[in-house]
Structure formats: C-alpha cells, structure tokens
C-alpha cells in the first residue's frame, strides 16, 4: 500500500464520520503509474463532457477523453474565457 492509498482511506473514514456521501480523490491521469492507486478504489467517477460518469473499468478508460490529451495545457489555459472577456491568442 502507498501513502496515497492510506490518505484516501483516511479521507473515506473522515467523510463517513461527517456523514458525507462522496470523497473526491483529486485528479487522475490515465496510465500514470504514480496515480494508479486511485483506480483501485470502487465506485469511481470521472468528470467528462460536463458531467460525472461512472468509471467501470479504469484500464479501459480511453485517454482521448482526458482533457489534457487533446491540446497542450498552455493552449487549453489560453482558450479559457471568463464572463465578459475573450480568450487571448
């Protein structure tokens, strides 16, 4: 078990004690060995296409669904527009 696994188990315990229904595990990068421990938990969901979607099989999750797989992060950040503003190019 990793430190990350221990921390998530502790968060689950704290959430249960507080009566919370969900625990947010933070971001996950598909295929990242450093983040594989998150995929070992059950009832996972990913935020894709503007909604939370059940992640039945993390190994089958296609990386093209991951927002960082389509454009370099700098391009994504540059394309963000706030209300009343336009992206800077």
22, 62, 80 from 27: Cα distances, Å:
15, 16, 19
Top-confidence residue, 14 or 27: 14
Is 1 a residue whose pLDDT tops 80?
A: no
**pTM value?**
0.59
User: Which residues, listed in sequence order, are joined to residue 27 by a DSSP beta bridge?
Assistant: none
Is 8 a residue whose pLDDT tops 90?
A: yes
Q: What is the SS3 assignment for 48?
A: strand
Q: What digits encode the pLDDT tens for the residues 29-73?
A: 777 888 888 888 888 887 776 778 888 888 877 655 555 555 565
């Amino acid at each position: 078990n990793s430190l990350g696994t221990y921390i998530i188990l502790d968060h689950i315990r704290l959430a249960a004690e507080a009566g919370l229904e969900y625990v947010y595990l933070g971001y996950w990068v598909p295929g990242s060995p450093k983040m594989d421990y998150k995929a070992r938990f059950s009832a996972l969901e990913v935020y894709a296409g503007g909604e939370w979607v059940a992640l039945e099989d993390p190994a089958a999750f296609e990386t093209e669904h991951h927002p960082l797989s389509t454009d370099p992060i700098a391009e994504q950040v540059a394309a963000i527009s706030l209300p009343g503003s336009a992206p800077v190019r």
